[in-house]
Amino acid sequence: MTRLTFARLTFAGTAAPLMAAAGALALMAAPAATAQDIDPEAVAAAEAYPLEPATDRIRVVNINGYSVIDREHLVLNGGARRHYLVTLRHPCPELRSGIQIGTSFGDTATLYPPLVEYIHVGEPEMRCSIYTVEEIDSVETARALVQRRNAAEEAADGDDTPSQR
């Protein structure tokens, strides 16, 4: 059984009511998902995406909800079938605990790089700059992709240690 709670998602100064799943709120307080927690099909789907986030222009359509992955990633939902992985420039401390989120762009927009867009969360409002936005199959695929990219980044950081040069 999934319990729902109300939150507000704000777009460029206007508010739109939104139902946010309790599972997303629980995820905010939970540690990052491990490989065993992610659906194997989502892991396989994540393999189709490049390790580097896409930096092309993107059209986001009918943004009406979100899911928090971690302090640097969230998924904006555009209806039941459209999902957009948002990667922030830096960790956003309030992202995990905030139930209100807003964007600097409307619910339907075309975003061009370099992005000057942001999300805002919490009370008082904190702005977190967006690095990239890319269309993705599902929230689970986004989680798997973030995990894959984090593992690749850690491996690359490990290769640059002074003891291994």
67-89: pLDDT as tens digits: 999 999 999 999 889 999 999 99
Nearest one of 133, 136, 152, 132 to 42, comparing CA atoms: 136
Token pair for 106: 């409307």
User: What stretches of the chain adopt beta strand conformation (E)?
Assistant: 4-11, 14-21, 58-60, 65-70, 73-78, 82-88, 101-103, 109-111, 118-121, 126-136
Higher-pLDDT residue of 134, 55: 134
Nearest-5° Cα angle at 142, 45 to 58: 100
Token pair for 99: 């139930």
HSE (side-chain half, CA atoms, 13 Å) at 17:
4
Residue 69 CA: distances (Å) to CA of 39, 54, 146: 15, 18, 8
Nearest one of 108, 61, 99 to 80, comparing CA atoms: 61
The mean predicted confidence, pLDDT, of the chain is: 77
In this structure, of 40-49, 75-84, 106-115, 126-135, the range with the lowest mean pLDDT score is: 40-49
Token pair for 151: 């593992």
Q: Tell whether pTM > 0.75.
A: no
Model pLDDT for residues 56-67, shown as the tens digit of each residue: 899 999 999 999
